[in-house]
Structure 1
Amino acid sequence: MTFTFLLIAALPFLFFVFTYMLFQKWTTTKKRAWRGAIHLSALIFVLAVHLLLKALFGNGYIGWSIVMLLSLMALSCIIQYKTREELESGKIFKGFLRLSFLTFAFTHALLVVYGLMNYVFFSA
């Protein structure tokens, strides 16, 4: 369990750093590299949060993850409509990827801290 937890905890951040370095070599600006790495890493963080929830609490919260993703998509649509008064699918999807990256990366970090604290204080 400990090795699996550490592997799930470390891989998404390493994947993000690796894709950022690759995009930095391919693109001309750091801004494009940052956004490309965020877009690719969003799915990895969603899967990692699901696996961490399953490892920590014994249940797979895939239903709640899907509800969260749908809520983030709706929020992205609302933000797009309020700022531009029209919906463009490409911009909605990019906004959705950025929101899901922020949400799930933050959740991933919280779950890693919780798992480490749980291991340190409550393991025999």
Structure 2
Amino acid sequence: MRRLPPILWLTLALLVAGCASDQRNQSLTATLNAYANALRWGDFKTAEQFVDPKLRAEHPPSALDWARYAQLRVSEYDDDTGPIADGPDQVRQTVRIHLINVHTQTERSVIDQQTWRYDAKLKRWWLTSGLPDVTQY
């Protein structure tokens, strides 16, 4: 059996790494879009499914938190800056979310500093910063 030259092994390794990186980037884009869509529709229960399970278990939203989310409608979700790498398996994203109180019809906006972590084992991105803090002014 003939052996492959080292340069071919290096090329093959880079191609495999590139494909994995591409898959990870596509996964990030799909995850961020799905999360943004959930929030744009005011579906905080679905958005919670993007939060890291460990964080969800340690700090679940209270009944008061859910009541606050229920009285808000999202009128705009601005993620224009996009994600910025913050290490090999983490990205940060700053989003401005415009909210309308359904009782008073007043609008305000909050800044959501999102941190996302890639779980290589599950090949999935998790939100580690939690759901937006809608109590900010």
Task: Tell whether the structures are fold-level matches, with TM greater than 0.5.
Answer: no
Q: Which has the higher strand share?
A: 2
More helix by share: 1
The structure whose RCO (Cα within 8 Å, separation 6+) is larger is 1
Q: Tell me which structure has the larger Cα radius of gyration.
A: 2
TM-score normalized by the length of structure 2: 0.27
